[in-house]
A = this chain, B = another copy of it.
């Protein structure tokens, strides 16, 4: 009853999963790479785990310790159909859009997220949507939709030129958009609306985009770097099921890893 625990974000480690599972070793991972790679690799890992009677656990890849993946898995296992997922899955992005204001232009909010350690070393991994695309892919596949990365529509809210060049270039370029963002933000405040960086799965199509929402939306009061996930299913239809809480951070991720491990061991 051996378990391999992957707390890296390393591609090379993710590439070893097939071999590890083949040797009757379960895997508990917080690394999103394997489950958001080519669908065929993902499927192969699932089938090796099934054949060998070992587990591949990745609850912490989305929302850290929040019970998201096992909830989808339980719904699907019990014959429900996931019709729609609407989610704020990036604590970093939620933090940035909660922080910006008259005294805190976009570029400073991004720097702050980096300084606190919320964002990746290169915050463009968060800002470009790459991280959220991986997460919605993992959820979509868990829900039974065999989606590939390039099928996810990403609407970036910063022009492409911000994502070229090095990090110093980036901070210089993004500063150019501070005024424009502050103007838009003031408009939103007048309308009592807020920005949220959403991942959506709807009718089998996934997209990632910056949306504006009003006070009636459950994500309006999404504090700090919290995550929120809304599931609309055949059974949770008129009103979706909602899960909300810290979706990142060393402590809650470690706890989620440990819970996954206990579930493997308990069997």
Using Cβ atoms and an 8 Å threshold, which residues of chain B touch A221? 216, 218
- Shortest CB-to-CB span from A171 to chain B, Å, is 30
Residue of A224, A240, A259 with most chain B CB atoms under a 10 A cut-off: A259
Q: Choose one: B66, B216, B235, B240; the contact of A251 (CB below 8 Å).
A: B235
Stoichiometry, copies per complex: 2
- Shortest CB-to-CB span from A71 to chain B, Å, is 5
Near B by CB (< 8 A), chain A positions 209-240 give 216, 218, 221, 223-224, 226, 235-236, 238-240
Q: Counting CB contacts under 8 A, is A152 at the interface?
A: no
Task: Report the nearest B residue to A217, measured CB to CB.
Answer: B221
Total contacting residues, chain A, CB less than 8 A: 37
Q: Counting CB contacts under 8 A, is A147 at the interface?
A: no
> 28 A-B contacts, Cβ less than 8 Å apart?
A65-B235, A66-B241, A67-B67, A67-B70, A67-B71, A74-B263, A75-B255, A75-B259, A78-B255, A78-B256, A78-B258, A78-B259, A79-B255, A218-B221, A218-B244, A223-B239, A224-B238, A226-B239, A235-B255, A236-B245, A236-B246, A240-B245, A241-B243, A241-B245, A241-B246, A242-B244, A242-B245, A243-B244
